[in-house]
Amino acid sequence: MSQLTPEEEQKILDSSPVGTFALLLVFAALMLAGWGYMFFYMFLEHGPVN
């Protein structure tokens, strides 16, 4: 494995974790879609409580 220069190490440490943010957005979208499915198609379909 190649050694990084101190400048390259600092650049990596100063950069934001873009991949992590993208992964969090994907999971948030999946959770929101799952909640929407459960609310609109499983809960509201049964009508009001008797």
List, as one string, the DSSP characters of 1-50: -PPPPHHHHHHHHHS--HHHHHHHHHHHHHHHHHHHHIIIIIIGGG-S--
What is the rounded CA–CA span in Å between residue 11 and residue 4?
Answer: 11
**Which residue would you say has higher pLDDT here, 17 or 28?**
28
Looking at the predicted structure, is the pLDDT value of residue 1 above 70? no
CA-to-CA separations, 24 to 20, 21, 27, 36, 45, in angstroms, rounded: 6, 5, 5, 18, 30
Residue whose C-alpha is closest to residue 44's, from 36, 12, 15: 36
Looking at the predicted structure, is the pLDDT value of residue 20 above 80? yes
